Structures are given as structure tokens and as C-alpha cells.
Amino acid sequence: MDKGLSAWHLTMMALGTVIGGSFFLGSAVITKTAGPSILIAYLLAGALVYVILFSLSEMTVADPTPGSFRTFAQRAYGEGVGFVVGWVYWTGLVLAMSSEAMAAAILLKVWLPGISIVLAGSAIIIAVTLLNLLGAEQLSKLESGLAVVKIFAIIGFILLAFSLIGGFVQGVPAIGISVLATESWFPSGLGGLAGSMLIVVLTFAGFEIIGLAASEASNPRRTVPQAIRYTVVSLVGIYLLAFLSLLLLIPTAVLSENESPLVAALARWGLTWAGTVMNVVLIIAILSTMLAAMFGLGRMVRSLAADGHAPSWVKDEGNIPRRGILFSGAGMLVCMALGLVLPQTVYLFLISSGGFSLLFSYSIILATHYKFRKTCGCPPTGQCQLPGYPYTSWLAIVGCGAIIVSMPLVPGQGAGLLAGLILVALYTVAFFVRSRLGKTAKVQQSIQSSAVLRPQFEMAEELQPKIGEDNETKRPEL
């Protein structure tokens, strides 16, 4: 029997990362903005995720190396790109997960009103960090259990919704399609659809964990493509059914960003107990997302350290990247502390860079795969998985670019675009400074080495004439 992560484990880790607080709580904003066209947005996002995942899969199947897309990008475009994309991804995800910890702490205050948000948030981060030290196999089992809870919660919502629609709930008349029939499909025009694409794509964010975990899979060439197919089909199917159910239950205009749209939809028809249940599910969803994200962060740090792009003291050769995990946990604690020290506007500016960081990484994956296929062809031995190459690659790259450009259309995400660009610029400068200092250090070391050797050569030259002189003095006269 093969050891390592199976296709099921990889799929559940991906679903555990993807289905988080952004779906259960944050989707209210985009549903209100896009209206029923949110279904179109999810179909488009699903197609984009399909191309990105299979682009990553082709490279991973050819070489399931630690570091995944960061390592592939470095090989294709040089050390600078590998350095920048690795640290931008790490920083964006650490900022996002510290924000998730704060959100979970706020939710816990519903049952524990006396608890400090700082204490609860710190405890959550520490617990997530320590659990990741158990290793991939133990974590995958825990993550599978948490992911199942989230999936069952969504399926439960869908079943309840269709029971209400069909009139199978006692005391509630059949709703039918009356709510959706009165809705405008594009309440904010095409701009509303375009603006919603950022958050829609971010509700899929985290699927790249499959690539980061591939080096620990039992048989990457078989399990990675299987896991990707399961992930794409599951996510697109669950999201489309969930949002169709939502649109049939409640007018999008009455949704509020301060309440889960799923809770609001059920409460509108008298199922007020759904709020308590959904709070529990939301906390589980956040913990599940943080666990899977920490798994990927630890392996990203190990990959950076292995190539000399991170401090040497975080380098770890064991099966479990303990130092990378602890380093990432410490980063989350620092980011959470920044949220308490910095003005709220500055902190939100930092947090908003998370969406850009992920889209930037996805664009790099697509660009790297395009060059990979152009150079290497179908990997390995003709097993191509991405249909329509290179046209699908071009469309996906343009799609990612369009979503990044449309970020200012979403309230608050204009700052995210600016923060993300600043983050890329800072890491680019950091790489060139580091490279310059590294070259200077090598030159100085070379000079010092030659300085140590020079006296020895000089001494040897001084000795040579003396030997000659001695020989001449000892030479007998003719």
C-alpha cells in the first residue's frame, strides 16, 4: 500500500482551505451587487480555476517538487521571480489568516462574552500552529473531518432551501420561484458582474494547496490529477446549488454584509435557529481554512529557505517543516498585533493586499505553465491535461489581469490593488538589495582569501633567490 496523501486527502485539504469565512459571510456583498448574475460569475470563476489547477497539475505531475509553483516560476523566469512570488504569497496569506483568527475570536464572544479578542485570536493561531506540527497524515485526517462538517452544512442549507421552495416545511407555504422571478439579473449592470469577480475568485482561493502538498502524496502522477478533478467538480457544483437556493429564498437587495446570507435567507422564513448553527459552522470553517493554509505556508517557507531566499535558521530538512510552520505562526501573531497597534485604516490597507497576492500568484502559475509547455511539451510522455492550450492559457491570463484591474470597482479593494503593488515592489527591491549585498560579500571573501595566500607566494619567491645564491656559493670553481 502506498504511503502518503491520497487523492481524497488532497481534495479534502483543498476544500478545507477553499470553503471558508468568505463564502459563509463575505458572499453577501457580491450577491447583493451582482444579483442572479452571481451564478454566471461562479461559472466563469470555475472555468478559470479549472485552467489554473490543471496548469499547476501538469507541472506537478512532471516534477512534484517542494515549493510547487514558486519553484516552477523560479526555474522558468529566474531567482528574482521565485523570490518575489514566494514572499508575496506568504505575506498575503499570513495577513489574511491573521484576519480570519480575529474574526473567529469575535464570533466566540457570542458564547464567551468575557473573553479577550486578543487572547482568543492568539490561542487560535497557536493551536493551528501546534496542530500542523503533527505532520501531513495526521493533519489531513483532522482537515478531512472539518471539511466534511462544512460540506454537510452547505448541503443541509440546500436541502432546507428546496424543502421551503417545494412547501415541505410545516407552516410555510411553497415559495416556488416567485422570489427569483422578480429579480433583475444585472441589478448593477455588467460593472456589478465584473466587480464581483474578485471576491468570487477568492471564494475559490486555497486550491493551490494541492500543488504544495504534492511532494507528500502517495503517487503524485495519479493522485494530483484525481484530486484536482474532484476539487473543481465539488466546488463548482456546491457553489452553484448554494447560490441558486439563496436566490430562490431571499431578494438580493435585502442582504447585509454584517450577516451571513445563508442565515438571513432561512431566518426570513422563520428558521431563526439557523443563526446559532451557522455561527458554529463558520468558526469550524475558519479553523479549517487556517489549518490548511498553515500547511501550505510551512512548505512555502521551507522551499524559500532551501534556495537561500529565507534566513538560514528557518531551513528544515525533516518531513515536517517545523521551523517554517513556527515562523509562519509567529508572522500571524505579529500581523494580529499590528491590527491592534496600527490605525484601523492602515491595517485594513495591509489586509486588503491578500486578494491581490493570490491573484498575482495565480497569474504567475499560468505564465509559468505557458513557458513550461512551450519548452517541454506534454509532461511526462504526452500526458497533457489542459485542453485548448495555448488559447485557454491566454484567456486565463487575460481573465486574471482583468480581475486585478477591476479591483477598484469593489468598495475597499482599490486599496488592496495599491497595497499589493507596493508589496511586489518592496520584495523586488529586497531581492536586488540582497543580491547586491551577496555579490559584495563574495568579492570581499575572495579578496580576503587571496590576501591570506599572497604572503605564502611572496615567501616562496623570496626563498628562491636564496636557494640559488646558496647553490652558487657551494659550486666548485673551475
Chain segment 60-105, per-residue pLDDT in tens:
877 777 667 898 999 999 999 999 999 999 998 898 888 888 888 8
CA within 13 Å, CB half, 111: 11
pLDDT category, 347, cuts 50, 70, 90? low
Name, of 328-337, 346-355, 430-439, the range with top average pLDDT: 328-337
Q: Worst-scoring range by mean pLDDT, 102-106, 280-284, 457-461?
A: 457-461
**Mean pLDDT (whole number) for 158-171:** 84
Residue bearing the bigger pLDDT, 353 or 423: 423
The answer to whether the beta carbons of residues 61 and 380 sit under 8 Å apart is yes
Long-range own/partner contacts, residues 334-337 (CB < 8 A, 24 or more apart): 335/94, 335/95, 335/98, 335/99, 336/98, 336/101, 336/102, 336/118, 336/121, 336/122, 336/125
Amino acid sitting at position 256:
S
Q: What is the pLDDT, as a whole number, of residue 389?
A: 85
Which H, E and C letters describe 66-107, residue by residue?
Answer: CCHHHHHHHHHHCHHHHHHHHHHHHHHHHHHHHHHHHHHHHH
Q: What is the pLDDT, as a whole number, of residue 439?
A: 64
**Mean pLDDT (whole number) for 120-140:** 88
Q: Which residue has the cell 492602515?
A: 346
pLDDT category, 422, cuts 50, 70, 90? very high
Long-range own/partner contacts, residues 129-134 (CB < 8 A, 24 or more apart): 129/294, 129/325, 129/326, 129/328, 129/329, 129/332, 131/291, 132/291, 132/294, 132/295, 132/298, 132/325, 133/320, 133/322, 133/325, 133/326, 134/320
Q: What is the pLDDT, as a whole number, of residue 474?
A: 47
pLDDT at 299 over 60: yes
pLDDT at 430 over 70: yes
Q: What is the pLDDT, as a whole number, of residue 284?
A: 87
Name, of 340-344, 386-390, 448-452, the range with top average pLDDT: 386-390
Q: What is the pLDDT, as a whole number, of residue 88?
A: 93
Distances (CA, A) of 400 to 214, 364, 407, 426, 454: 24, 10, 11, 22, 58
E strand intervals along 293-388? none
pLDDT category, 201, cuts 50, 70, 90? confident
CA distance 309 to 41: 37
**Cell, residue 358:** 493570490
Q: Worst-scoring range by mean pLDDT, 36-50, 56-70, 418-432, 458-472?
A: 458-472
Phi, psi for residue 217 in degrees, rounded to 5: -80, 155
Long-range own/partner contacts, residues 170-178 (CB < 8 A, 24 or more apart): 171/270, 172/269, 172/270, 175/248, 175/249, 175/269, 177/248
The candidate with the shortest Cα–Cα distance to 143, out of 280, 10, 22, 237, is: 10
The answer to whether the beta carbons of residues 396 and 366 sit under 8 Å apart is yes
pLDDT category, 271, cuts 50, 70, 90? confident
Q: Considering only CA atoms, give the Rg of the chain.
A: 28
pLDDT category, 478, cuts 50, 70, 90? very low
Q: Which domains does the chain have, with CATH numbers?
A: 7-449 (1.20.1740.10)
**Cell, residue 473:** 656559493
End-to-end Cα spacing for the chain = 91
Q: What is the pLDDT, as a whole number, of residue 146?
A: 83
Residue-wise pLDDT for 223-252, tens only, equals 888 888 888 888 888 889 999 988 988 888
pLDDT at 129 over 50: yes
Q: What is the mean pLDDT of the chain?
A: 81
Residue-wise pLDDT for 28-38, tens only, equals 778 888 888 98
Q: What is the pTM of this model?
A: 0.82
pLDDT at 118 over 90: no
**Mean pLDDT (whole number) for 211-215:** 71
79-108 helix and 413-474 helix, angle to the nearest 10 degrees? 140
